[in-house]
Amino acid sequence: MDKKEEQLLIDLTTARGVPGNEEEVREVFKAYAKDFAEDIFYDGLGSVIAKHVGDGGGPKVFISGHMDEVGFMVTKITDKGFIEFQTLGGWWGQVMLAQEVEIKTQAGKLVHGVIGSKPPHVLTPEVRNKPYDIKDMFIDIGASSEEEAKDWGVRPGDMITPYIQYKRMNDSKFLLAKAWDNRIGTAVSLRVLETLAAEGHPNCLFAGSDVMEEVGLRGARTSTHLVNPDIAIALDTGTAGDTPGMTPKEADSVLGKGPQVLIFDASMIPHKKLLNFVINVAEELEIPFQYTVITGGGTDAGQMHLTRDGVPSIAITVPVRYLHSHTSVIHEDDYLNTVKLVTEVVRRLDDKTVKELRSY
């Protein structure tokens, strides 16, 4: 991966964007896509879509990640200047305490803070030995009063994001950052757009990134309705099973072994012909991939496939360690192979192929 491509990942993961507050990520997307798109447009919620018409302008193919990351929202400032907050997206309380965060005010000021709680020294043994309840956590921004916090611009509704810097771990191919879920899917969408714009393709490609996936796949419903595609591919992340303590059943997905092709998740059973088509492309070109089942979650494909009269859809994901935390980890090769697989799938979705996939 060259420096330009890695800079895209740095820019995307550095951008702050919880559900409903995706402006920074959208600006990164637009700045990168503008050189490869004939048009960039938006749904009414702020999902962004870049259009590129290929040779002959064949079927409409929609590939999309999502811009939002799990984070928090300010709900109240206490009289002593501490911040009460609401989680946005699925958080496990055990990964939150003592983690640094940033509050972005309406004026764009960044206010640094740390997630705190009562010290364990004052807790009873019974309480101390249980996971700490998220509702009892707070954010300490170093303010001494509600008035001081307000003077800094903090107010209810402000976005709160994890604070961590992108790192290539010890010169390896393991990349650590916040928000791989789902800036890596957004990066795949942009890179496929760039490649096919340069090399050509037989269809009308819509490469996008949706808002508010983490709170119920909301942006995918509106963006897919707007595009009205013939085929849709959700680009997201999935759990890795290669860390200590995982059972053999949980250890199916390994970082570095390729993208995950979802054969089932809680939001969608993939279109069988499209699923077989994707697998056949991967096997023909010897692109490594992994079969994945997600029983407790879903992707934007869960809304894509239900749009209008129904859209043949599938989800292709990048495996990630420590999802929905401040510090998630991916493998560079999985990202590059996901770009390769999605590029080749889209390249082959010509009019004849799409008609066959959509025939019953």
Question: What residues form the annotated binding site for Zn(2+)?
Answer: 66, 181, 214, 236, 324
Coarse DSSP helix, strand, coil percentages of the chain, rounded to the nearest 5 percent: 30, 25, 40
What tokens does 129 get?
């030995």
What tokens does 271 get?
């279109």
**Is 157:104 a contact under the CB 8 Å cutoff?**
no
* Measured CA distances, 162 to 91, 328, 342 (Å): 12, 11, 30
Rounded CA separation 207/199 (Å): 16
Q: Is 328 exposed, middle or buried (0-12, 13-18, 19+ CB in 10 A)?
A: buried
Task: Cite the annotated binding site by residue number.
Answer: 66, 181, 214, 236, 324
Among the options 22, 213, 332, 344, which is catalytic? 213
* CB contact set of 224 (below 8 Å; sequence gap of 6+): 62, 64, 232, 303, 304, 307, 311
Told to judge if 213 belongs to the known catalytic residues of this protein, a careful annotator would answer yes
| Start-to-end Cα distance in the chain | 42
Active site (catalytic) residues: 213
